[in-house]
Amino acid sequence: MQKNYLLIIVLAMLPIMVVAQFSISGKITGNDDGLPLTGAHIVVLNTQLKSISDNNGYYEIMDLNSGSYKIKISYVGFESQTIKINIKKNASQNIALQPSTIMSDEVIISAIRATDESPNTYTIIDQAEIEENNTGKDLPYILKSIPSIVVSSDAGAGIGYTSLRIRGTDLTGINVTLNGVPVNDGESHSVYFVDLPDLASSINDIQVQRGVGTSTNGAASFGASINIKTGDNNPNPYAEINNSFGSFNTLKNSIIVGSGMLNTRWNFIGRVSSIKSDGYIDRASSNLKSAYFSGSYYGKKDIIKAVVLLGDEKTYQSWYGVPKDSLETNRTYNPAGEIYDKDGNFLGYYNNQTDNYLQNYYQLHHGHQFNNKFNIASSIFLTTGKGYYESYKNGSKLTSYGLRDTIIGNDTITRTNLIQQKWLDNKFYGINLSANYSTERLKLSFGGSLNYYDGDHYGKVIWAQVATLDQYNNNWYFNTGKKSDINIFAKARFDLNDKINLYGDLQYRNISYNINGTHDDLRDLTQTHRYNFFNPKAGIFYKINNTQNIYLSVGIANREPNRSVFRDADSSQSISPEKLTDIEFGYKYERNSVLIEANLFFMDYKNQFVMTGKINNVGTPIFTNVPGSYRAGIELIAGTWLFEIVELKVNATLSQNKIMDFVSYVDNWTTWGQEKQELGTTDISFSPNTILSGNISIIPVKNLKVSLFSKYVGRQYIDNTANIKRSLGPYFVNNISFNYSFETGFIRKIDLLLSLNNIFNEKYETNAWVYRYYYDDVEYEMNGYFPQAGFNFMLGVNLKF
C-alpha cells in the first residue's frame, strides 16, 4: 500500500497541463495621478493564477477557462480592490487603485522579506492554510508541508518540545524572526516553540526562505530563515472561540477578540489560550498557556504597533528518548524521573521531573511614509525568560555539587539521592531600523539592528536524602553570558528592463560574547570572544515570459559558535567560526492553475561544527570543526486545480549531504583513551537524501474540504559515521483532514475540523542520540530514540462572531 502512495506522489510531480482558452490583460494605475504601478499583485482567487504588473503597469493572466472569476489587485500604499469578471473571450481590464488613507503594516517587515521577483528560494504559508491545520500542535507541524522539512516531537504527538530541520539544518542554524524581531536565543541560537504555545492563532502569514536567503536580523541563516508576521487589521469587530480535543487527553481552548478599525485609525486584538496533553510517550505531559495582545494606530503616513506575547509552559521531561532495544516491546517508555534505592532496585517515579519556563515578548514598531517612494521603519523590543528544569538524581556525589561529605557516626557518606534545579534567567533587548526607497527601476533597502543578551545560568540542590541543612538552596554553580550583536545591511534590486533584474545584498555583523563564572561541573567558564563577519549576496532574475522565470543567486553566511561549543571545548582547542557559500538556481512555471518549480542548491561549508565523538579533558563530548562538507540537491514543487474542486500540491527534495575526510573518535573504557577511525566521505547526520510530500484536497460539496497529506522521509543517520546500525529507518506517514464551514443567524461562521493522523499506524522515529564506547575490545553503545504516535485524532470546533 505504501508503494502505491509513493507512486502517486512521483507521478504527480510530472507536468500537468490543462487545456484553456482565454486571457485577461490590462494596466494598473494610481487613481490619483494615473501613473502606472510597477509590481502590483493580481491574483485570481481560489486558483493558483497570479501576475505582477511590469514597469509600464501592464499585466496578463493567460489560459483562463470560460467562467466567472474574482480577481484581487493589491499594491503597497493603495487600497486593495477585488473585482468580478465573467470570461467568455479574451478580455481587457484596466484597474485604477485608490491611494490608501492608512499606512500598511507590511512596512515593518518589508526590508527582510523576499518578493516575487527576488532571486530567492522561499515558500509562504498564509493565514487560511494556518487556520486549516491549527488544532493545537506546535508551529513546526504547521510548516510540515513545505519542501525539505522534517519535524519531530519529544512527546511524540506534536505538543510540548518540538523541533524541525530544513535541508538537514536544525533550529540553531535557522534564523527565526517575529515581526522582524529576532527569536533565536542569543547563546544557544535555538528556538523553543514550546515557549510560544498557540502562536499559530495569532499569525497572519509565514515566509520560509531556504538557503542563506536575504539579510535579516538576529542569528545567522545557515540553512533557512523563518519570518513570522502576526496580527491582522480586520476592519470589522470580531470574536472567536476555538476548542479542540483529541487523543492523549489533548485539549486546546482559545478566545480571540478584535475591535476592528475604531475611528478609522485604531485596531486592537487579544487572545488567551490553554493547551494540555498527556503526550504519546509515558508521562510526557504538557500544560501550556499563552496570551497575545496588539494595539495599532494607522495614520495616512504613520503606523504605530505594540505587541505583547506571553508564554508559560510546564512539561514533564521526555527528552531522554527510548533505548533502541525497547522500541519493539515498549515504544512509550520514558526513563525520566526513575527512582532507585542504593541496591539498584526500582522504587517508582519522581512526579515533578518537569521543565518550567516563562517567556514574554514586548515589541513596539513604528513606520513612517514620506512619500510613495520612501519610508522608514523602526522597532524596539524586549524578550524576558525565566525558568528551570527539576530532576531527581540517584546516588550523586556530594562534592560534585560543592557539598561536604556527611559523617554519621563512623560512616562518611559521599553519595546521596537528591533533587536539583537548573535555572536560566535572561533578558534580550534591542532596536531594528530600516529604510526603503523605490523608483520605477530601483528598489533599495538599508538598515540594521543592535541587540544585547544578558543571561544568568545557575543551579540549586533543593533536597538531598543525606546532607547538612545549611547547604540547601545555595547555588552550586553560577555563570553569566553577555552578548552584543550589531548588524548593518544594504540591499538593492535594479530592473535592467522588463525581463531582467539584478539583486545585491551586503551585511556586516559584529559580535561580542563574554562568559563568566563556573559550569555545573565546577569548571571555570570565563572567556571572551569577538567576531566580525561580512556576508555578501548577489543574484539575477530573468522573466522568460508571462508564465516562466528563472533565477540564480550566490550568498555567503558566517556564523559564530554557540554557547555549548564554547562551554565544552578545551581551553587549548582551536575554535573557528563556520562559513557557508550557498548557490541557488531556480525555475518557475505558472499557467492556468498549474505551478511547477525546480530549485537546484549547492551549500558548501567550511569549518562546520559536528560531533565526532571527541571529548574534552573532563570527558564531555565536544563539537569540532570539519574542514569540508556540503549539501547539494534539487527541490521540485508542483500544484494544480482540477475542475475547480480538486487541488493537488506536491514537493520532493533529492539531495546528497556529505562530510569530506571524516574522522570519528570512540571512547575506550579499558584504556581511558579514545579509538580513532578515519572514515573518509560520510553522510551528514539527520540529513535524509529523499523527502517527499503531497497534499490532495477535494471539495465534494460546498464548504466541505477533504485533504490527504502524505510525507515520506528517507533514512537518517544518527551520527556522522554513515553506519546503518545507527540510523533512523525511512518512514511514510499519511494524515486525513476534514474542514467544514457553515453560517448561522447568530454565529457568523462555524468551522468544524477533524484531523486523522498516521491513519496506517506507521511505527517510526524522527530523532535519536547515540553514545559509543569500547570495553575489553568489544563495542557497546547507549542510545535514545524518539518514537512518534500511531493513529491519533484531533477534533476542533471554531465559533466566529
Indicate if the alpha-carbon torsion angle 82, 52, 101, 180 is positive or negative.
positive
Beta strands in 137-184 (DSSP E): 149-153, 162-166, 174-178, 181-182
Lowest mean per-residue pLDDT among 126-130, 197-201, 464-468, 551-555 = 464-468
Please tell me the predicted confidence (pLDDT) of residue 19.
43
Using alpha carbons only, how large is the chain's radius of gyration in Å?
Answer: 27
**Model confidence at 799: pLDDT above 80:** yes
pLDDT tens digit sequence for 283-321: 999 999 999 999 999 998 999 999 999 999 999 999 999
Three-state secondary-structure class, residue 129: helix
Please tell me the predicted confidence (pLDDT) of residue 21.
67
Please tell me the predicted confidence (pLDDT) of residue 91.
84
Please tell me the predicted confidence (pLDDT) of residue 685.
95
Q: Which residue has the cell 534591542?
A: 430
Percent of the chain with pLDDT over 70: 95
Rounded-to-integer distance, Cα 626 and Cα 607, Å: 5
Q: Is the CB of residue 654 less than 8 Å from the CB of residue 633?
A: yes
Per-residue confidence band for 619, with pLDDT thresholds at 50, 70 and 90:
low
**Choice between 487 and 64, residue whose per-residue pLDDT is larger:** 487
Lowest mean per-residue pLDDT among 20-34, 503-517, 528-542, 713-727 = 20-34
Instruction: Report DSSP letters for 8-71, one per residue.
Output: HHHHHTS-------EEEEEEEEETTT--B-TT-EEEETTSS-EEE--TTSEEEEEEEPSEEEEE
Indicate if the alpha-carbon torsion angle 203, 208, 214, 215 is positive or negative.
positive
pLDDT tens digit sequence for 621-665: 788 899 999 999 999 999 998 877 899 999 999 999 999 999 999
**Model confidence at 489: pLDDT above 60:** yes
Per-residue confidence band for 103, with pLDDT thresholds at 50, 70 and 90:
low
Q: Is the CB of residue 434 less than 8 Å from the CB of residue 449?
A: no
Please tell me the predicted confidence (pLDDT) of residue 498.
87
Please tell me the predicted confidence (pLDDT) of residue 101.
63
Find the helix or strand (DSSP H, E) in which 566 lies.
helix 563-568
Lowest mean per-residue pLDDT among 357-366, 370-379, 474-483, 639-648 = 639-648
Residue 204 vs residues 124, 164, 277: alpha-carbon distances, Å: 11, 21, 26
Q: What is the mean pLDDT of residues 679-708?
A: 96
Please tell me the predicted confidence (pLDDT) of residue 16.
41
pLDDT tens digit sequence for 733-760: 999 999 999 998 889 999 999 999 999 9
Q: How many CB atoms lie within 10 A of CB 622?
A: 20
Residue 161 burial (C-beta neighbours within 10 Å; 0-12, 13-18, 19+): buried
Please tell me the predicted confidence (pLDDT) of residue 383.
98
Rounded-to-integer distance, Cα 527 and Cα 600, Å: 41
Per-residue confidence band for 128, with pLDDT thresholds at 50, 70 and 90:
confident
pLDDT tens digit sequence for 147-198: 999 999 999 999 999 999 999 999 999 999 999 999 999 999 999 999 999 9
Beta strands in 398-526 (DSSP E): 406-408, 411-413, 415-438, 442-464, 475-495, 500-517
Please tell me the predicted confidence (pLDDT) of residue 15.
41
Q: What is the mean pLDDT of residues 691-719?
A: 96
Please tell me the predicted confidence (pLDDT) of residue 20.
47
pLDDT tens digit sequence for 10-55: 444 444 444 446 888 889 998 777 788 877 888 887 676 778 888 7
**Model confidence at 772: pLDDT above 70:** yes
**Model confidence at 720: pLDDT above 90:** yes
Please tell me the predicted confidence (pLDDT) of residue 766.
97
Rounded-to-integer distance, Cα 210 and Cα 654, Å: 15
Rounded-to-integer distance, Cα 527 and Cα 307, Å: 36
Average pLDDT, the chain: 91
pLDDT tens digit sequence for 395-454: 999 999 988 888 887 888 889 999 999 999 999 999 999 999 999 899 999 999 999 999
- Would you give the distance in Å from CA 392 to the centre of its chain? 32
Q: What is the mean pLDDT of residues 96-125?
A: 84
Please tell me the predicted confidence (pLDDT) of residue 642.
84
Please tell me the predicted confidence (pLDDT) of residue 674.
92
78 CB-near residues (< 8 Å, 6+ apart): 30, 37, 97, 98, 99, 100
Per-residue confidence band for 618, with pLDDT thresholds at 50, 70 and 90:
low
pLDDT tens digit sequence for 657-670: 999 999 999 999 99
Please tell me the predicted confidence (pLDDT) of residue 456.
97
